[in-house]
Amino acid sequence: MELAVDLGTSNTVAYVRRPGGPVEPLFFDGSPLLPSAVFLDGGGRLVVGRDAVQAARSHPERFEPSPRRRIDEPAISIGADVAIEPLLGALINRVAAEAAAPVTEALLAHPASWPQPRRDVLHRAAAAAGVPRARLVPAPLAAAAAHLRRADPGPADLLVYHLGAATFDAAVVRCHPGFEVVCSTGLDGVGGQALDDAIASHLRTRGGPADLWARMDAPATAADRAARRQLWDEIRGARETLSRADTATVYVPLVESEFVLTRAELNALAAPLLQRTLDAVGAMLAGCPVPLRPFAAVLLTGGTTRMPLVSELLHRALGLPPQGFEHPELAVAAGLLDLVGAPPPAPARPAVAVPASHQPALAVTVVDLIELSTPSYTGVTLRGELHAGHGVMEHIFPADADGRLLLFPDQLSLARQSSTGTTDPLLSLPPWRVRNLGPEESRYDLDLLVEHISAPPEHWLPAFVCRCRDIVAQLAIFLDLEGTDDLIGEHSTIDQADDALRRHLLDPTARGARRRLSRLDLDQLRDDWTDLIALLDAAIHEVPS
């Protein structure tokens, strides 16, 4: 049996395909939506879903409504300190138990902008649930696969916009064929729950004694907890109603009043939050490290995208009417099974560089040690990823005051520089924070590249050529090298070779990839690479040993 799981912030969704059968959703207590909630009972057993929500009424201190929101915390206190992996694993285990059959292949969705530590937590959670060989898939790829069941755009780019209960994610997926995320972004704490908070604040201004509202803000009794739960149910129901109607009524317990909420009021409350998502999308597109094709479609996933204002703002910003799914909460889980049997995603393109005006306080998350050789220099440098709210990502490298890439003759020289009290976010990291993937994955012999591609294409090493292309593209953006668009941009000879080689990596028997390679102007390719490497060579500052 093939199992697909979209472990969301608010709800978990799963689809299965049994041998010889169709793709079908799993139902939990009659609904395809399993609340992503966990409760620790008195016996130390983890209870999930609606049972957890019910149990929390009497012991709220043992309840975690959304473990995924706390994925960066090693342990969560719910009557006892429980590691995050067992909490997420309990949800995955409930899904597997509902499937009631041995799992032959399992796919788990995750936001494309998640850094590696978060994906590692999800891997460990799957193992804790007895699913040790789970395959993690960026959610936008699943959304694209689901879309291709109803329309095949051919080679194209798709923009996937996800707005759920408490997370926003967006990504550009390239279809050529297969799927590849070429840039992504995300915001934590942005979604339906934030809109509910805004509605509650708005209703508070409409009337009712402050002490009664305070009792629902910080309930101390069972009656107050019931009132708070009823209030948020009323608000969420009204918000969902306003996706279909112009007005909705919200009953506020304790205050014992009914308030009419209009769609215009909701739009006014939602506009600032939705504008943040549009700003993030704009920054992602402006900083995408590869030239983008015209979008074949803008896809909406996540229940909060049912708000008409989401489509209106996106249409206005992008000039293309977004396309929703009949059930936007289910689209990702359903699309995952379309990827079963497909090769893994293509090697990731460089992550999007977001303008500083869009960046809150930044922190280095992943740092790779890079061995770099050019015709003039050989040494080591560092490549890091910055993150803001675990959403937008940016590759960075150490640079001197003139913006040139710092290249150290060896690791010892780099270590000496790190110990001088530098303020550079990469060089100031302790050595144990630096990841060395190994000689092949971290070595970029650009001085050998032109010689390598002077041989016939059938003798090339596709992974080596593609890795070199990726590091040079990242450095060209970081160093703001002039004159690289014609050399490495879309439709350039280097881009055509890279596209053909990535197709070859996905399927070494692909005739189309071989035909594209045979049609390349190899002399032009070598000349372009020579010019590109020369530009990079001139932008390096070698640090004396």
Taking only the tens place, the pLDDT of each residue in 354-403 is 333 333 333 555 678 899 999 999 999 998 876 544 344 567 899 888 88
Question: Given this model, what pLDDT does residue 316 score?
Answer: 85
Residues of the chain falling short of pLDDT 70: 153, 177, 341-366, 386-394, 418-421, 429-433, 435-440, 505-513, 545
**What is the Cα–Cα distance from 451 to 529, expressed in whole angstroms?**
10
DSSP-based three-state secondary structure for 181: strand
513 and 432 inside one domain:
yes
* Dihedral over alpha carbons 86, 89, 91, 97 (to 10 degrees): -120
Q: Are strands 257-262 and 247-252 parallel, antiparallel or unpaired?
A: antiparallel
Residue 342 lies in a domain: no
Among the listed residues 525, 536, 483, 545, the one whose alpha carbon sits nearest the alpha carbon of residue 372: 536
Q: What are the angstrom distances between the C-alpha of 18 and each of 26, 142, 268, 324, 334?
A: 12, 19, 46, 27, 14
- Do residues 65 and 120 share a domain? yes
SS3 435: strand
Verify that 387 and 532 share a domain, yes or no: yes
Domain boundary among 75, 98, 133: 133
441 and 533, same structural domain?
yes
Q: Give the domain range for residue 201.
A: 150-331
This prediction's pTM: 0.64
Residues 461 and 367 in one domain: yes
Same domain, 319 and 193: yes
- Is residue 354 included in any domain, yes or no? no
Q: Are residues 129 and 171 in the same domain?
A: no
167 and 105 within one domain: no
Q: What pLDDT is attached to residue 262?
A: 95
Same domain for 512 and 370: yes
State the Cα–Cα distance between residues 323 and 311, nearest whole angstrom: 8
pLDDT at 364: 55
Whether 416 is in a domain gets the answer yes
- The residues facing 188 across adjacent strands are 167
Half-sphere exposure of 478 (CA within 13 A, CB side): 27
| Token pair recorded at residue 499 | 């596209």
Q: Please indicate, yes or no, whether residues 304 and 380 belong to a single structural domain of this protein.
A: no
Whether 122 and 159 map to the same domain: the answer is no
Decide if 337 is inside a domain: no
CB-based burial, 460-496: b 16+ in 10 Å, e otherwise: bebebbbbbbbbbbbbbbbbebeebeebbeeebbbbb
Residues composing the chain:
545
**CATH code of the domain in which 84 resides:** 3.30.420.40
Q: What pLDDT shows up at residue 386?
A: 64
Q: Are residues 43 and 164 in the same domain?
A: no
Buried b (16+ CB within 10 A) or exposed e, 426-435: bbbeeeeebe
Would you say residue 143 lies in a domain?
A: no
- Sequence-distant (≥ 6) Cβ neighbours of residue 45 within 8 angstroms: none
Per-residue pLDDT at 360 = 33
Domain for residue 176, yes or no? yes
Q: Which residues of 210-240 are buried (b: 16+ CB within 10 A; e: fewer)?
A: eebbebbeebeeeebbebbbebbebbbebbb
Residue among 264, 241, 259 at smallest CA distance from 249: 259
The pairing of beta strand 46-48 with beta strand 63-64: unpaired
Cβ(23)–Cβ(334) below 8 Å: yes
Residue among 475, 239, 266 nearest 350 (CA): 475
Residue 71 within any structural domain of the chain: yes
What's the total number of domains in the chain?
A: 3
In a domain, 344, yes or no: no
Nearest to 118 by CA among 40, 186, 50: 186
Q: What is the pLDDT of residue 389?
A: 40
